[in-house]
Structures are given as structure tokens and as C-alpha cells.
Amino acid sequence: MPDDGTRVRDGEARNHYLSDIDDTWETYREGVDRAWAEYEGRLQPARAAYEAAFAAAEAAHGHALDTAWASYKEAVAKAPSTTRREVVAQARATYNETAAAIRKAYNENMAIARENYVRSVNDARAAYHGAVDGELDAHKEAVRAAWADYLDLVDSQIVTEE
């Protein structure tokens, strides 16, 4: 039966091990928090760029449609009564073609903005995962080292008792 001194040393070794585990967990958590803050920081410019591109595309889209509609209205208003039907048909066709081109340009600009944003998110996500994986590997190694230290303490106590 182990004596009181052995029990105390075992308790101290166990407490030291648990303290080391707590320290490694705290280090890991802080590393993950830093990685998250960096992730959020990397996304801020991408979000701002996406929002700016979206606003610019919306404004350009609206302005171009307003201009095309004004051209249509002007052509219809100036149409002589003898050729009004043909002028209205031509103006409508021109407006429809212009509106289609405007929508196409808008869709292309928004697709580019989305692709840039998604690329930025993926880059930030990859950096975040890399940082977290690195922190996890360091945490695992610290836990292994703490366990090895604990076993060394326990083994050295067994050797001194013999």
C-alpha cells in the first residue's frame, strides 16, 4: 500500500498535469480566437468592395435604364403623326435591345463582384483553417508533452520507491 508521501506526490503530479492541460487549452483557444479575428479582418475589405461594386452596378443600371427610357419617350413624343406607329415600334425595339444590354452588363458586373467576394472568402477561410489546424497540432503536441511529463514524474517516483 502506498504511503502518504507517495499519494501526495501522485496528487501533485496529477495536478501539475491538469494545470498543463488547462494551459494548453487556453493557448489553443486564444490562437483560435486570433485566427477568427484575422478571418473577420480579411473579410472586411472584401465585403466593402462587394458592397461598393453592388452599389455602383445598381446605380449604373438604374441610370442606363432611365436614359434609355428617356430616349424612348423622346422618340415617341417627336414622332410625326403619319409615321407614329413605325417610330413607336422602332423606339420600343431600340429600348428593349438597350435594356437587354444593360441587364447583361449588370449581371456580368454582379457576377464578377460575387466571384471576387467568393474568392476572398475562400482565401480567408483557407487561412483560418490553416491557422486553426496549426493551433490544434500545437495543442495536441503540448498535451502529449504534458502526458509524457506526468508519466516521467510518476515513473521517477516509482523508481525512487524501489
Q: Give domain limits for the chain.
A: 4-161
Nearest CA to 131 out of 20, 23, 18, 40 is that of 40
pLDDT at site 158:
63
pLDDT at site 27:
92
Q: How far apart are CA 125 and CA 118, in angstroms?
A: 10
- 3-state SS assignment for residue 11: helix
Give pLDDT tens digits along the chain (162 positions). Answer: 456 666 777 788 888 888 888 999 999 999 999 999 999 999 999 999 999 999 999 999 999 999 999 999 998 898 888 888 999 999 999 999 999 999 999 999 999 999 999 999 999 999 999 999 999 999 999 999 999 988 888 777 665 655
The set of cell numbers assigned to 37 is: 479575428
The answer to whether 117 touches 47, Cβ cutoff 8 Å, is: yes
